[in-house]
């Protein structure tokens, strides 16, 4: 199943107060495995950048001034998202800004049925614990040493690892299969990547004739085996 993990950066907390989306980062997963495909874009908010927001993500008004507005880049974003489920941390916040921007440029909003909220998943699985992205990275041993400020693509990449852990983790068997070349990512002619799983036939596990004979010989050397007594008792009851 294809899923998109994404994160946004904004000028503030509420689009209804005039705040805008200024950055989005997306990471593609296929069956909970990163394919290597990402999407990242900055957008000019066409408004000033509050100092408190800039302190969080480091994006200045001057830096964003020559970036396209959301409407100019919306087609490329929608092409990447397709109709996949969208995973975000505190997803109502990110969905709120994304849908406001989509509606503002005359596009359909993304239905809430496509939303997967890792904050809700974390609260369900670890009640009473801390649920920030930093706290979850610490819980699952995910390296975030390069995270100095919030960044949409970096946070989406970290969240993708957190999401995998929240939904069962990376199974040891899968890792061994990947290392042996049984799972690989192939690049198509149009630059798309497809996860390909090569399966090998199972090894035989039935005992050989010699092994069965050796086992029977071993059993014949046991005096008064317990299963004989059990068989007699069962026969008497019958």
Active-site positions read 150
Strand partners, 203: none
CA distances from 148 to 58, 125, 145 (A): 10, 28, 8
Region at 67 (left for phi over 0; alpha for psi -120 to 50; beta for the rest): beta
Candidates 55, 79, 68; CA nearest to 22 is 68
Residue 211 CA: distances (Å) to CA of 202, 205, 206, 214, 215: 20, 12, 10, 5, 6
Strand partners, 185: 195
| CA dist 175 → 33, 183, 194, 202 (Å) | 11, 9, 18, 18
Closest CA to 22 of 100, 128, 84, 81: 100
In angstroms, the CA 143 to CA 195 distance is: 25
Structure tokens at 200: 């090998």
């Amino acid at each position: 199943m294809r899923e998109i993990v994404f994160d946004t950066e904004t000028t503030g907390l509420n689009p209804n107060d005039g705040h805008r989306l200024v950055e989005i980062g997306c990471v593609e997963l296929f069956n909970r495995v990163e394919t290597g495909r990402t999407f990242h874009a900055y957008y000019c908010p066409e408004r000033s950048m509050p100092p408190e927001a800039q302190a969080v993500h480091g994006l200045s008004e001057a830096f964003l001034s020559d970036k396209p507005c959301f409407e100019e880049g919306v087609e490329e974003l929608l092409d990447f998202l397709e109709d996949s489920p969208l995973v975000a941390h505190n997803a109502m916040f990110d969905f709120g800004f994304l849908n406001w921007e989509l509606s503002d440029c005359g596009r359909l909003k993304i239905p809430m049925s496509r939303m997967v909220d890792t904050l809700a998943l974390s609260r369900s699985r670890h009640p009473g614990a801390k649920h920030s992205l930093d706290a979850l990275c610490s819980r699952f041993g995910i390296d975030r040493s390069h995270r100095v400020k919030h960044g949409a693509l970096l946070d989406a990449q970290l969240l993708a690892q957190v999401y995998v852990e929240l939904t069962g983790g990376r199974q040891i068997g899968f890792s061994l299969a990947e290392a042996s070349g049984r799972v690989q990512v192939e690049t198509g002619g149009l630059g798309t990547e497809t996860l390909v799983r090569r399966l090998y036939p199972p090894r035989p596990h039935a005992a050989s004739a010699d092994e069965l004979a050796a086992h029977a010989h071993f059993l014949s050397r046991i005096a008064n085996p317990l299963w004989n007594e059990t068989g007699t008792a069962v026969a008497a009851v019958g």
